[in-house]
Amino acid sequence: MKELNGLEGLYLEDLEVGLAASYAKTVTETDIVMFAGLSGDTNPVHLNDEYARTTMFEGRIAHGMLSAGFISTVLGTRLPGPGTIYLSQNLQFKAPVRIGDTVTAKVIVREIIAGKKRAILETNCYVGDRCVISGEATVMVPSRG
C-alpha cells in the first residue's frame, strides 16, 4: 500500500475489500455550539439543558450530523483519502451522542466497482462498543489508469 503524504489518498488499485480506517473525536460543548452556528440547527435539544431534560433524552445531545461528519473526515483524509469524491451516504441514527462522548467513525471497504472507479463503504460511528450511527457510502476514487 502506498504511503499517504496528506495531499493525495489511495488509488482505486490500492483498495481491498476489508481495508479499514477510523477517526476519533471527543465531542465538546464548543463543538455543539459551533455546529449549531455553522449549520443553523439551533434545536434546543442540542443547546438548552433545561429544555433537553424534558425530552426522551433527559439531557442535551449532539447533532446527529456532527457525528456523521466524522465519517467525512475518514473518507477525505484517510480512506480512501484526498481525491475521493463523496457520491452518496445513507445513515441510521441509533443512539444519542452527548457532550464528553468520544465518537469513533470507522470506514470499511465492502465492494470495489473498478469499471466505474467507485467503492462501497460501510460507515459506522461508535461510542465505546455501542454503534450510534450505521450507514453506507458510495465514493469515486481516483485511479492510476
Output the average pLDDT for the chain.
94
Confidence band (pLDDT; 50, 70, 90) for 6? low
pLDDT in tens, 91-141: 999 999 999 999 999 999 999 999 999 999 999 999 999 999 999 999 999
Q: What is the pLDDT of residue 71?
A: 98
Which domains are present in the chain? 12-26+63-140 (3.10.129.10)
pTM of this prediction? 0.91
Q: What is the pLDDT of residue 53?
A: 97
Cis link prior to 96 (omega < 30° from 0)? no
Of the candidates 99, 126, 98, the residue with the CA atom closest to the CA atom of residue 22: 126
Q: Report the SS3 class of residue 117.
A: coil
Give percent of the chain with pLDDT exceeding 90: 92
Using CA atoms, how far apart are residues 85 and 140, in angstroms rounded to an integer?
A: 5
Look up residue 40 and give its amino acid.
G
In the numeric block, which cell numbers belong to residue 98? 452527548
Using CA atoms, how far apart are residues 88 and 95, in angstroms rounded to an integer?
A: 22
Contact 105, 137 (CB under 8 A): no
Of the candidates 83, 141, 71, the residue with the CA atom closest to the CA atom of residue 107: 71
The dihedral sign for the CA sequence 74, 123, 27, 45: positive
Contact 139, 12 (CB under 8 A): no
Using CA atoms, how far apart are residues 58 and 130, in angstroms rounded to an integer?
A: 19
Q: Would you say residue 31 has pLDDT above 50? A: yes
